[in-house]
Amino acid sequence: MSSSTPAPWWRTAAVYQVLPRSFADGGGDGVGDLAGLRARLPYLAELGVDAVWVTPWYPSPMVDNGYDVADYRDVDAVLGGLGQAEAFVQEAHALGLRVLVDIVPNHTSDAHAWFRAALAGDARARARYLFRPGRGEGGALPPNDWESCFGGPSWTRTTDADGRPGEWYLHSFAPEQPDLDWRNPEVRAEFVDVLRFWFDRGVDGFRVDVAHGLVKEAGLPDALGRDRRTEEHPGWDQDEVHEVYREWREVADSYDPPRVFVAEAWVARPERLPLYLRSDELHMAFEFEPLHVTWREGPWRRVVERGLATAALTGAPSAWALTNHDVVRQVTRYARTQWPERGSNESERARWGTEEPDLALGRTRARAAALLTTALPGLVYVYEGEELGLEEVEDIPTERRLDPIHTRSGGRDPGRDGSRVPLPWSGDRPPYGFSPPGAPEPWLPQPPGWGPLTAAAQEQDPDSTLALYRCALGLRHELMAGPLVWHEAPDGVLAFARGTTVVWVNFGPDDVPLPAGRRVVLASGPAPDGVLPVDTAAWLVPDEEGSR
Ligand code: BGC
């Protein structure tokens, strides 16, 4: 890139993540849809984001919240179908918003035509998946010892046409999500075609689901107890996966403007992540540590340093996110005793019922965290409802929970539904304007008490979390230019500069005096008389810069 070429939009974007079924219900059936999303596009433009990422909108039996795709070239009728999606892309573009959608290449739904044909015995269709004979007498044992990410074995046995037990197929997630065989050229060709299908419809890029998982180690050897999340596992992160992304990058670059990819890539060894970010592969990868890091200064500093080091090494911008549809919302994470360094999805969810969350404290910290991440170099992803300060809904009745993590754990793990509850837009009781009047109850129950958190209520309040996000997103392009430079600060305070703007985040136990010669331009809570209270963040500009 020459110095006169402007940086592409995505290098510094704020991207808003939408779960279409939980965002807004236009059709009045209790399920969010694209009509609802289209009607709320002005809200997103006003929030100040640059792009919208829509999680899977394809036809799906919804075993895993749409990450079980039955047809990659269509949109679920419940959401309004393909025509609604095309209208949405055009309207978003007219408002200056880019559109990213999810691509789910590791697995299809078991309702996908390919898998149905495979089960019916079509040899060519079977070769697109990972069918293997079982081990042991009569093939009664799974082909290897891999565990599914959702619990239980990674293999399900099929029944042959004559009614006898047949081969097994691999599923890294639920049994309804059979893994594809990415060593099969037909699979590769199919997804190139799918990418083009959506790029031709104006989609600006894709979030790549389980980007590290597509290719498995040849021969599918046993994992010998290795943990998929923390150790090298033969089901993840094989060198051959990079051939896939080199091919995809050529496709993305053949468009004007070039399209982009953001990877969901979990790697056991941090030095493997930059491989996905080579200049002829994916454009960026999510930083996952902020989803679990504890609310403390030292751990946060290490997280930021590691992210910036990866960016420096690869030239890819850091993609920061405080939360998403897979983790406990940050208000609730910060509302309980903080881990020494970091927690995990499982450890956070295990705290439900064991320690009452102090939600007011969690909200105060979440607001400070927002001023921290929106100030960092790179992109910031905002998950729907975090701008309203929503907490995790922890008391969804068992019979209403849908996440396979919940069902497959025998109910021990509450699963991820609590972060996916439909948004509150207005009013003081469910459905809080999520659906039009007369609609059935939203597909996941909303809690009582969200009246003050609705978008309409917060729009009236200049001190609301919504107002804070609007200010931060509105100012960040202007105020957060230049590399991050660490500053000295009192104990417990994380301090850095971006150009002439200085950011202080007080994680410590005491209020601290703010630096002299600077004025607070934005603070996450009251910061009277030159003091930065505990659990508060502030953006500071030199005194002489004009007032806002
Ligand atoms: C998605 C999850 C999903 C899993 C399987 C993850 O990366 O974010 O929501 O359950 O992939 O597709």
Same domain, 53 and 134: no
Classify residue 471: in a domain, yes or no. Answer: no
Percent of the chain with pLDDT over 70: 99
For a pocket test of ligand 1, which of 112, 208, 209, 212 has the largest count of ligand atoms closer than 8 A to its C-beta? 209
Classify residue 36: in a domain, yes or no. Answer: yes
Same domain, 522 and 433: no
pTM of the model: 0.97
49, 382 contact by CB (below 8 A): yes
Question: DSSP secondary-structure letter at 168?
Answer: E
Reply yes or no on whether the pLDDT at 3 is more than 70.
no
Q: Counting Cβ atoms within 10 Å, is residue 60 exposed (0-12), middle (13-18) or buried (19+)? A: buried
Same domain, 333 and 293: yes
Q: Is 209 a catalytic residue?
A: yes
Instruction: Indicate which atom in ligand 1 lies nearest the CA of residue 173.
Output: 5
Final residue in a domain of this structure, among 459, 492, 508:
459
Classify residue 422: in a domain, yes or no. Answer: yes
Q: What is the CATH number of the domain that holds 55?
A: 3.20.20.80
Ligand 1 centroid–CA 304 distance in Å is 25
Beta bridge partners of 286: 319
Classify residue 275: in a domain, yes or no. Answer: no
Same domain, 425 and 318: yes
Reply yes or no on whether the pLDDT at 547 is more than 70.
no
The token pair that represents 51 in the structure block:
């792009």
Spatial strand order of the sheet with 379-383 comes to 284-285, 260-263, 205-208, 98-103, 51-54, 14-18, 379-383, 319-321
Same domain, 489 and 455: no
361-383 mean pLDDT = 98
Ligand 1 centroid–CA 345 distance in Å is 13
Same domain, 411 and 504: no
Ligand 1 centroid–CA 319 distance in Å is 18
Mean residue pLDDT across the chain: 96
Final residue in a domain of this structure, among 133, 153, 170:
170
Reply yes or no on whether the pLDDT at 31 is more than 60.
yes
Among residues 33, 181, 264, 386, the one annotated as catalytic is 264
Same domain, 385 and 344: yes
Three-state DSSP class for residue 277: coil
- When divided into structural domains, the chain yields a total of 3
Residues 6+ apart with CB under 8 A from 110: 61, 68, 116, 119, 175, 176, 177, 178
Q: Measuring CA to CA, how many Å separate 73 from each of 49, 69, 83, 237, 538?
A: 27, 10, 12, 27, 45
Specify the residue for token string 């304007």. Answer: 433
Instruction: Indicate which atom in ligand 1 lies nearest the CA of residue 67.
Output: 12
470-482 mean pLDDT = 97
Give the range of the structural domain holding residue 46, as residue numbers without chain letter.
9-104+288-459
Classify residue 372: in a domain, yes or no. Answer: yes
Instruction: Indicate which atom in ligand 1 lies nearest the CA of residue 209.
Output: 7
Final residue in a domain of this structure, among 132, 150, 170:
170
Separation CA 304–CA 381 (nearest Å): 15
The pLDDT of residue 548 is 43
Classify residue 524: in a domain, yes or no. Answer: yes
Three-state DSSP class for residue 352: coil
What count of other Cβ atoms lies within 10 Å of the Cβ of residue 526?
Answer: 9
Question: Of 414, 418, 396, 397, whose CA–CA distance to 405 is shortest?
Answer: 414
15-26 mean pLDDT = 98
Among residues 50, 68, 209, 384, the one annotated as catalytic is 209
